[in-house]
Amino acid sequence: MAELTLEDPARRDFLYLATGAVGVVAAAGAIWPLINQMEPDASTLAQATTEVDLTNIAEGQIVTIKWQGKPVFVRHRTAKEIADARATPLSELKDPATDESRAQKPEWLIVVGICTHLGCVPLGHQGKYEGWFCPCHGSVYDTAGRIRQGPAPKNLVLPPYKYTSNTKITIG
Ligand code: FES
């Protein structure tokens, strides 16, 4: 059974602690340690897949999951966030991808929470498009996690995941 913990009720983003949590996701804006990806320890390997119970995530919230040593953002998108993403012409995108191709279900966006520039953890609900903003060098992502401004070359990466029920996903 997974458990959610509010880090700061004033913020809409909060951390997700998996059962037997092996660690808490680093503060937003921190460089995600490369060592984590290159030399995963036993506890990291043990989390080759991570199950997420979506019922605990309210509309408008973003939860950060630790998966294989990396942060993964699970975003319960509002109707406006979905509409904004879907109304964006592909011609405006640096790394063109439709919103439909990035979200198996419109209301849930699941992306690896590592900026594709140099690896910082972007901040949710910030930036011009209210998707994510990376404070390290100013990359701006939209509500589909697509790069819109700044030096990052690519959209936030989509991790492999599948729905195991209407309210549960397995990442990995
Ligand atoms: S690491 Fe995100 S903008 Fe450079």
- The DSSP secondary structure of 48-85, one letter per residue, reads SSEEEEGGGS-TT-EEEEEETTEEEEEEE--HHHHHHH
Helix (H) or strand (E) holding 15: strand 13-17
DSSP 113-170: -S-TTT-B-PEET-TTTTSEEETTTTEEE-TT--EEESS--SPPPPPPEEEEETTEEE
Distance from the CA of 27 to the center of ligand 1, in angstroms?
A: 15
Ligand 1 lined by 12 (C-beta under 6 Å): no
The predicted model scores a pTM of: 0.77
pLDDT of residue 4: 42
User: Is 137 annotated in the active site?
Assistant: yes
Q: Where are the domains of the chain?
A: 60-172
Report how far residue 52's alpha carbon sits from residue 165's, in angstroms, rounded to the nearest whole number. 11
To 10 degrees, the CA torsion angle through 109, 111, 116, 120?
110
Report how far residue 93's alpha carbon sits from residue 83's, in angstroms, rounded to the nearest whole number. 16
Report how far residue 17's alpha carbon sits from residue 165's, in angstroms, rounded to the nearest whole number. 21
pLDDT of residue 21: 37
Provide the residue type at 125 as one letter: H
| pLDDT tens digits, one per residue of 132-163 | 999 999 999 999 999 999 999 999 999 999 99
Helix (H) or strand (E) holding 108: strand 108-112
| pLDDT tens digits, one per residue of 86-138 | 999 999 999 999 999 999 999 999 999 999 999 999 999 999 999 999 999 99
How many C-beta neighbours within 10 Å does residue 4 have? 15
pLDDT of residue 132: 98
pLDDT of residue 97: 98
Report how far residue 31's alpha carbon sits from residue 100's, in angstroms, rounded to the nearest whole number. 30
Q: Which of 115, 116, 148, 149 to mutate to test the pocket of ligand 1 (most atoms within 8 A of CB)?
A: 115
| pLDDT tens digits, one per residue of 41-97 | 555 555 689 999 999 899 999 999 999 999 999 999 999 999 999 999 999 999 999
Ligand 1 lined by 113 (C-beta under 6 Å): no
pLDDT of residue 25: 46
Q: Backbone phi, then psi, for 80, in 5-degree steps? A: -65, -40
pLDDT of residue 52: 96
| pLDDT tens digits, one per residue of 15-50 | 444 433 334 444 444 555 444 444 455 555 556 899
Distance from the CA of 121 to the center of ligand 1, in angstroms?
A: 8
CATH 2.102.10.10: does it fit domain 60-172? yes
Distance from the CA of 120 to the center of ligand 1, in angstroms?
A: 6
pLDDT at 8 over 60: no
pLDDT of residue 144: 98
